[in-house]
């Protein structure tokens, strides 16, 4: 199981939201590169970098942060937030992203995402499924659609896309534990999925349970920044 710390960016700063609410913003560090280097020094190999300004505005904004982190660390960065057009995804890869997360556009324009699969390869794209009561939310979680997560994945899994980040909005930033049942149901329905669990991780016990479930990876944000899980505790998973 891959340990994937999250760095969320607003105005170039490392922040965390609670349940995707921009009004509940907490700044943890004004230098995201400093945070990324801390993760790298702890033996972390992966990073989930989210351009929250981009997600809100519908166009990528914080590519300078991506470029700095990709250029000055060896972290394998997946980047998301505001990727809507060909030039957005091209710029993300040009700035050093190893993978790009397709969120709202995967819901609104599946044809575009499938064209990107043809151009860049299925292993370079991640479907970002942000879920509220099993329904997909888009545009920085400001809009909840009528599309259920299984319907979204049925569009992409048969086309060779395997990587899926599933974030349960109800648990995100709450430190109350992940939605284990949701992840189990997704993995049962789509055996080939490389599921990355996101939202609610609050303890090493949560990580151990996710590892037992054999998820591909787990994104951890607030639990690290609030000291609920230490860098030392993460090493038992990164070195396993």
User: What confidence tens digit (pLDDT) does each residue in 212-240 have?
Assistant: 999 999 999 999 999 999 999 998 887 65
Decide: 28 and 16 in contact? Cβ < 8 Å.
yes
Region 127-131: mean pLDDT is 94
Structural domain boundaries, residue 60: 2-238
pLDDT tens string 182-213: 999 999 999 999 999 999 999 999 999 999 99
Task: Give the rounded percent of residues in the chain with a pLDDT score beyond 90.
Answer: 76
Region 81-101: mean pLDDT is 96
Q: Where are the alpha helices (DSSP H) in the chain?
A: 32-41, 52-57, 63-72, 86-94, 104-108, 110-120, 149-156, 180-189, 204-213, 222-225, 231-238
pLDDT recorded at residue 64: 96
Decide: 79 and 93 in contact? Cβ < 8 Å.
no
Please give the tally of structural domains in the chain: 1
DSSP classification of residue 12: T
Catalytic residues: 8, 130
Bridge partner list, 3: 218
Q: CATH number of the domain that 99 lies in?
A: 3.20.20.70
Bridge partner list, 238: none
């Amino acid at each position: 199981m891959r340990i994937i710390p999250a760095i969320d960016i607003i105005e170039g700063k490392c922040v965390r939201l609670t349940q995707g609410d921009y009004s509940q913003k907490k700044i943890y560090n004004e230098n995201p590169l400093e945070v990324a280097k801390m993760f790298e020094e702890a033996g972390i190999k992966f990073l989930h970098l989210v351009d929250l300004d981009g997600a809100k505005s519908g166009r990528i904004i914080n590519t300078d942060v991506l470029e700095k982190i990709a250029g000055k660390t060896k972290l394998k960065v997946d980047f998301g937030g505001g990727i809507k057009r060909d030039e957005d995804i091209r710029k993300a890869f040009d700035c050093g992203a190893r993978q790009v997360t397709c969120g709202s556009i995967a819901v609104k324009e599946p044809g575009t995402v499938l064209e990107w699969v043809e151009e860049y390869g299925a292993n370079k794209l991640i479907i970002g499924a942000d879920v509220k009561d099993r329904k997909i939310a888009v545009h920085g979680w400001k809009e909840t659609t009528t599309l259920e997560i299984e319907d979204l994945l049925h569009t992409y899994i048969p086309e060779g896309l395997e990587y899926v980040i599933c974030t349960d909005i109800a648990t995100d930033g709450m430190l109350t534990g992940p939605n284990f049942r949701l992840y189990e149901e997704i993995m049962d329905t789509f055996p080939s999925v490389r599921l990355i669990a996101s939202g609610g991780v609050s303890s090493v016990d949560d990580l151990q349970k996710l590892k037992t479930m054999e998820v591909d990876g787990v994104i951890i944000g607030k639990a690290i920044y609030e000291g609920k899980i230490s860098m030392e505790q993460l090493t038992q998973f990164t070195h396993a």
